[in-house]
Amino acid sequence: HHAEPFGPVDTLVLVDTEAELLAAMNASNGALVASLSCDDKDTYDRLAPQIRAFKVGHGKPRSRGDRDELFGGFGNSWSGAFVGGELLVRAVTEGPVSERLPGNFPDYHLMP
């Protein structure tokens, strides 16, 4: 599986169980975006929260730059400030000295 923090990398992995599916999708300790194609909404709703990706699409590709949605990542998928909408402005402007930006940094992880 892919352990690199940046892609894009599309991978197909055949699995027999939901546990194997989640293990394969979470192999790199997080992704910026992931898609889960499933025709049963209940199954999608049960599995999607367990996928370690910042954005999960239901049967459609997602983009890290989807409009005003946040952009960031879990694990080693992305290091730095979460951006998108208002947080994009905060990520590129100088704020108060004590400000801790939401993001994935070596010394802290702060969700927006």
Helix, coil or strand: residue 25: helix
Largest CA distance in the chain: 51
Domain ranges of the chain: 18-110
For 87-102, the DSSP string reads HHHHHTS---TT---S
Q: Write down the pTM of the prediction.
A: 0.61
Per-residue pLDDT of the chain (112 residues; tens, 9 = 90+): 455 555 556 667 788 999 999 998 887 767 777 888 888 999 999 999 898 887 788 887 666 555 566 666 666 666 777 777 788 788 888 889 999 888 878 788 888 7
Strands (E), the chain: 31-36, 53-58, 80-81, 103-105, 108-110
